C-alpha cells in the first residue's frame, strides 16, 4: 500500500516540505526554500544523496514548489517511483470551525481566508501553499491539518476570556491554542510509552521550541492550553513574551507614545529570551549562562519559572497526572530546563533522575526516578508524521 504523503508547511517567505511514509514516519526526503521573493533565495533539499543546497532568486511560493519538484527529479527520490498518495498542509488557524483535518476544496480555502484576521502572519501563507499545491498536483487529494484543531475539546470555562461577551460573539476573541499537531502526536506517544491507551492517561505536555506552549491533556483530549487567541500568550518563548498584564499596551501607548502595531511587533519579535538576554537561540543562552552571564541566567530563570507555574496550574486542572512530557528543541535537549522547571515538586510526586535526565538520546524515554508517582518523559515530536497520518486517514 502506498502511504507517502508530501507534507507542506508554507510560511510568509518560506516553504518547507517533506515526503513522509505515513506508516513508518520515515522521511524519504525533506527540504526548505527560504527568502522567497528575494534575490538570494536559498533552497536546501535532503534526499538519498545527502544535502543539496542552491542559491537563486525564487520569486513566489509556486516557484518554490516547482524548485522542490525539480530537486526530487535531480537528487531523488523520484516522485514517479514513490507515487505520492496525498498532500498534507499545515494550517495554523482553524478558528472555532475546524476540529478535524479537512479535504481541501474552494470552500475550505475561502474559510481559511476568512480566518486571516485571527492569524495575519500565517494563514495567508498557508492559503498560498494550498493553492499552489493544488495547481501543481491537481490529481492528488489535499488535506488541511490545523494547528488549533486538537484544542477544540477545551471546555467553555477554559477557552472563555473574562471580557465583554460581544468580543467573542462579534470578533471571536477566545482561547484557541496552537501546536495542536505536536501535542496530539506527543500525547499518543506518551500513552504508548506508559503502556496504556490514550484515554487512560492524564498528561501535561510542554512543547518548548522557538514557540512554546503547555497543554493539559485528559484521556487523550486537550482540556487547557497556554496559547490563546494568538500564539503570543503563555510560556516565555524565543522572541515572544508569553503572559503579561494586558494593561501594558495602554501604558506604553500613553507613556512612550508607541503605536499598537509597534507594541505588538515588540511583544512578538523582540521579547521572550531575546528581550531578556539579547538573543533567542537556547544553545547560545546556555553557553552564556554557564559562563556566568547574569542576563542569560535571568532569562533562563524567568523561562523555567513560567513553565513551573503552568505545571502547577495544569496539575490542579487535571487532579491526577500520569506524566509530564517534554518535547521540541529545548524540551528534548535541555536537561537544565527540565530540572529547573520541575525542581521542588516532590510533594506533587514529580522526581527526576539526574543521570537519566543528563544522558543525551534522540529516543522517547523516561527521565523520572524509579518510583516517581508522576513519570517525566522526553519525547521527540514529529509534526510532519502526524500530518501525514491524518492525511492518509482521511483519504485512504
Ligand atoms: P521550532 O519551534 O522552530 O520547530 P525547535 O523545536 O527546533 O523549533 O526548537 C528550537 C530551539 O531549540 C532553539 O532555541 C534551539 O536553540 C533549541 N535547541 C536545539 N538543540 C538544543 C540543544 N542541544 N540544547 C539546548 N537547546 C537546543
- Residue 225: per-residue pLDDT: 99
* Within a domain: 175: no
CA distances 120 to 92, 104, 112, 113, 362, Å, are 10, 20, 11, 10, 35
Smallest CA-to-CA distance from 90 within 56, 140, 126, 51 is with 126
Q: Which of 146, 169, 185 is the last residue of a domain?
A: 146
pLDDT above 70 covers a percentage of the chain that reads 100
* Within a domain: 169: no
Hey, what's the torsion of the CAs at 383, 384, 388, 393, to 10 degrees? 0
| Residue 115: all three cell numbers together | 480566518
Atom 21 (ligand 1) nearest CA: 333
Task: Compute the distance from residue 92 Cα to the ligand 1 centre, in Å.
Answer: 20
Contact 258, 252 (CB under 8 A): yes
Question: Which pairs from 133-138 meet CB under 8 Å and 24+ separation?
Answer: 133/6, 133/8, 133/65, 133/87, 133/89, 134/104, 135/62, 136/62, 136/65, 136/66, 136/69, 137/6, 137/84, 137/87
How much is the average pLDDT of 293-311?
Answer: 98
Q: Which residues contact 232 (CB under 8 A, 6 or more apart)?
A: 240, 241, 242, 267, 268
Are 335 and 204 in the same domain? Answer: yes
The binding-site residues of ligand 1, defined as CB within 6 angstroms of any ligand atom, are 209-211, 238, 281-283, 286, 328-330, 333-334
How far apart CA 299 and CA 237 sit, in angstroms, is 10
pLDDT tens digit sequence for 312-363: 999 999 999 999 999 999 999 999 999 999 999 999 999 999 999 999 999 9
Smallest CA-to-CA distance from 7 within 384, 383, 382, 380 is with 384
pTM to 2 decimals?
0.96
Are 109 and 199 in the same domain? Answer: no
How far apart CA 20 and CA 390 sit, in angstroms, is 12
Lowest pLDDT segment from 37-41, 218-222, 247-251: 37-41
Name the residue of 283, 338, 341, 379 whose CB sits within 8 Å of the most ligand 1 atoms, as the mutation to test its pocket.
Answer: 283
* CATH code of the domain containing 127: 3.30.420.40
Task: Compute the distance from residue 210 Cα to the ligand 1 centre, in Å.
Answer: 6
Are 212 and 139 in the same domain? Answer: no
pLDDT tens digit sequence for 91-123: 999 999 999 999 999 999 999 999 999 999 899
Say how many domains are in the chain. Answer: 2
How far apart CA 30 and CA 20 sit, in angstroms, is 8
Atom 23 (ligand 1) nearest CA: 333
- Ligand 1 closest atom vs CA 284: 16
Q: Which residues contact 377 (CB under 8 A, 6 or more apart)?
A: 190, 193, 194, 323, 324, 325, 326, 364, 365, 366, 367, 368
Task: Compute the distance from residue 333 Cα to the ligand 1 centre, in Å.
Answer: 8
How much is the average pLDDT of 291-318?
Answer: 98
Are 133 and 212 in the same domain? Answer: no
Name the residue of 207, 330, 337 whose CB sits within 8 Å of the most ligand 1 atoms, as the mutation to test its pocket.
Answer: 330
Are 140 and 212 in the same domain? Answer: no
Task: Compute the distance from residue 77 Cα to the ligand 1 centre, in Å.
Answer: 28
**E strand or H helix at 21, and its extent?**
strand 15-21
Burial of 89 (0-12, 13-18, 19+ CB in 10 A): buried
* Within a domain: 271: yes
Are 134 and 218 in the same domain? Answer: no
Q: At what angle do helices 123-136 and 106-114 cross, to 10 degrees?
A: 160
How far apart CA 238 and CA 243 sit, in angstroms, is 14
- Residue 121: per-residue pLDDT: 87
Are 243 and 112 in the same domain? Answer: no
Are 292 and 218 in the same domain? Answer: yes
pLDDT at 81 > cutoff 90: no
- Residue 302: per-residue pLDDT: 98
- Residue 2: per-residue pLDDT: 79
pLDDT tens digit sequence for 222-272: 999 999 999 999 999 999 999 999 999 999 999 999 999 999 999 999 999
Name the residue of 178, 329, 334, 382 whose CB sits within 8 Å of the most ligand 1 atoms, as the mutation to test its pocket.
Answer: 329
Atom 12 (ligand 1) nearest CA: 329
pLDDT tens digit sequence for 126-147: 999 999 999 999 999 999 999 9
Task: Compute the distance from residue 170 Cα to the ligand 1 centre, in Å.
Answer: 38
Are 200 and 93 in the same domain? Answer: no
CA distances 122 to 35, 146, 178, 201, 354, Å, are 15, 12, 12, 33, 39
Are 129 and 260 in the same domain? Answer: no
Confidence of residue 89 (pLDDT cuts 50, 70, 90): very high
* Within a domain: 233: yes
pLDDT above 90 covers a percentage of the chain that reads 97
* Within a domain: 158: no
Write out the residue range of the structural domain in which residue 106 sits.
Answer: 4-146
Are 120 and 39 in the same domain? Answer: yes
* Within a domain: 116: yes
How far apart CA 264 and CA 275 sit, in angstroms, is 14
* Within a domain: 268: yes
Atom 3 (ligand 1) nearest CA: 210
Smallest CA-to-CA distance from 25 within 9, 43, 5 is with 5
Kindly list the catalytic residues: 147
- Residue 396: per-residue pLDDT: 82
Contact 97, 111 (CB under 8 A): yes
Task: Compute the distance from residue 165 Cα to the ligand 1 centre, in Å.
Answer: 39
- Mean pLDDT for all residues in the chain: 97
Residue 235 CA neighbour count, 13 Å, CB half? 31
pLDDT at 1 > cutoff 70: no
* Within a domain: 178: no
- Residue 335: per-residue pLDDT: 98
How much is the average pLDDT of 32-40?
Answer: 95
Are 208 and 344 in the same domain? Answer: yes
Amino acid at each position: 500500500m502506498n502511504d507517502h504523503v508530501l507534507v507542506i508547511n508554507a510560511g510568509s517567505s518560506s516553504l518547507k516540505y517533506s515526503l513522509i511514509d505515513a506508516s513508518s514516519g520515515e522521511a524519504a526526503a525533506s527540504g526548505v526554500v527560504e527568502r522567497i521573493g528575494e534575490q538570494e533565495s536559498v533552497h536546501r533539499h535532503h534526499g538519498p544523496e545527502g544535502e543539496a543546497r542552491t542559491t537563486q532568486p525564487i520569486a513566489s511560493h509556486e516557484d518554490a514548489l516547482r524548485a522542490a519538484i525539480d530537486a526530487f527529479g535531480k537528487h531523488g527520490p523520484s516522485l514517479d517511483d514513490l507515487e505520492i498518495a496525498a498532500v498534507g498542509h499545515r494550517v495554523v488557524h482553524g478558528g472555532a470551525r475546524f476540529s478535524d483535518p479537512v479535504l481541501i476544496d474552494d470552500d475550505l480555502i475561502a474559510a481559511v481566508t476568512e480566518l486571516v484576521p485571527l492569524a495575519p502572519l500565517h494563514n495567508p501563507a498557508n492559503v498560498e501553499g494550498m493553492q499552489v499545491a493544488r495547481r501543481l498536483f491537481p490529481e492528488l487529494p489535499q488535506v488541511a491539518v490545523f494547528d488549533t484543531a486538537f484544542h477544540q475539546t477545551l471546555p467553555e470555562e477554559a477557552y472563555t476570556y473574562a471580557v465583554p461577551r460581544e468580543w467573542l460573539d462579534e470578533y471571536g476573541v477566545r482561547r484557541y491554542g496552537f501546536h495542536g499537531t505536536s501535542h496530539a502526536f506527543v500525547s499518543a506517544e506518551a500513552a504508548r510509552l506508559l503502556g496504556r491507551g490514550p484515554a487512560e492517561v492524564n498528561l501535561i505536555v510542554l512543547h518548548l521550541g522557538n514557540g512554546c506552549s503547555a497543554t493539559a491533556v485528559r484521556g487523550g483530549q486537550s482540556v487547557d492550553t497556554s496559547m490563546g487567541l494568538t500564539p503570543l500568550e503563555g510560556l516565555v518563548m524565543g522572541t515572544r513574551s508569553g503572559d503579561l498584564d494586558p494593561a501594558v499596551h495602554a501604558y506604553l501607548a500613553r507613556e512612550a507614545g508607541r503605536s499598537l502595531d509597534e507594541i505588538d511587533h515588540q511583544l512578538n519579535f523582540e521579547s521572550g529570551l531575546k528581550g531578556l538576554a539579547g538573543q533567542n537561540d537556547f544553545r547560545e543562552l546556555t553557553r552564556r549562562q554557564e559562563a556566568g552571564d547574569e542576563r542569560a541566567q535571568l532569562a533562563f530563570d524567568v523561562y523555567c519559572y513560567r513553565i513551573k507555574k503552568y505545571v502547577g496550574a495544569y496539575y490542579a486542572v487535571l487532579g491526577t497526572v500520569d506524566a509530564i512530557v517534554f518535547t521540541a528543541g529545548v524540551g528534548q535537549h535541555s536537561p537544565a530546563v527540565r530540572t529547573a522547571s520541575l525542581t521542588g515538586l516532590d510533594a506533587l510526586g514529580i522526581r527526576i533522575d539526574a543521570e537519566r535526565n543528563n544522558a543525551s538520546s534522540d529516543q522517547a524515554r523516561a527521565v523520572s526516578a524509579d518510583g516517581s508517582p508522576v513519570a517525566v518523559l522526553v519525547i521527540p515530536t514529529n509534526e510532519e508524521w502526524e500530518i501525514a497520518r491524518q492525511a492518509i486517514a482521511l483519504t485512504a
